[in-house]
Amino acid sequence: MPEDEEPHLGQTWTELTVVGVRPSLEVVEFEPFRSWAERGAWRGVEATLRLRFIGTRDGCRVVGEGEVSGSGLYAVAAGSSGLLAKRAIAADLRTAGHRIAQRTD
């Protein structure tokens, strides 16, 4: 996501993933402090990540859900990557948490 832009519904960007692919992403759900969802597409693969933020005494808990699908030759790759999605989502959430914790504004 562009660092020079506030998040908003319909926002689009291209990201470099840890496995080296560059999906096009779009914010498809955005309720500040409640939920966030983004949809990504790369060749024949589509993925959706949805986050819910639940207030706690010490801050918030983030619940993530992901879905990966593919078409044509990418159907098998999408199925395999779906098995790894849980780890990838957890790693992304840890990275985001560290970045947020380091912010001073």
Q: Which residue has the tokens 């948490």?
A: 97
2 part of a folded domain: no
**pLDDT tens digit sequence for 30-79:** 999 899 999 999 888 888 999 999 999 988 888 888 888 888 888 877 77
Q: How far apart are CA 93 and CA 84, in angstroms?
A: 15
| Number of folded domains that form the chain | 1
The alpha carbon dihedral of 95, 40, 89, 100 has a sign of positive
The range of the structural domain enclosing residue 88 comes to: 28-102
How remote is the C-alpha of 105 from its chain's centroid?
Answer: 23
13 part of a folded domain: no
Spatial CA neighbour of 70 closest among 14, 13, 21: 21
Please tell me the pTM assigned to this model: 0.76
Q: How far apart are CA 89 and CA 85, in angstroms?
A: 6
Judged against a pLDDT cut of 80, whether residue 26 lies above it is answered with yes
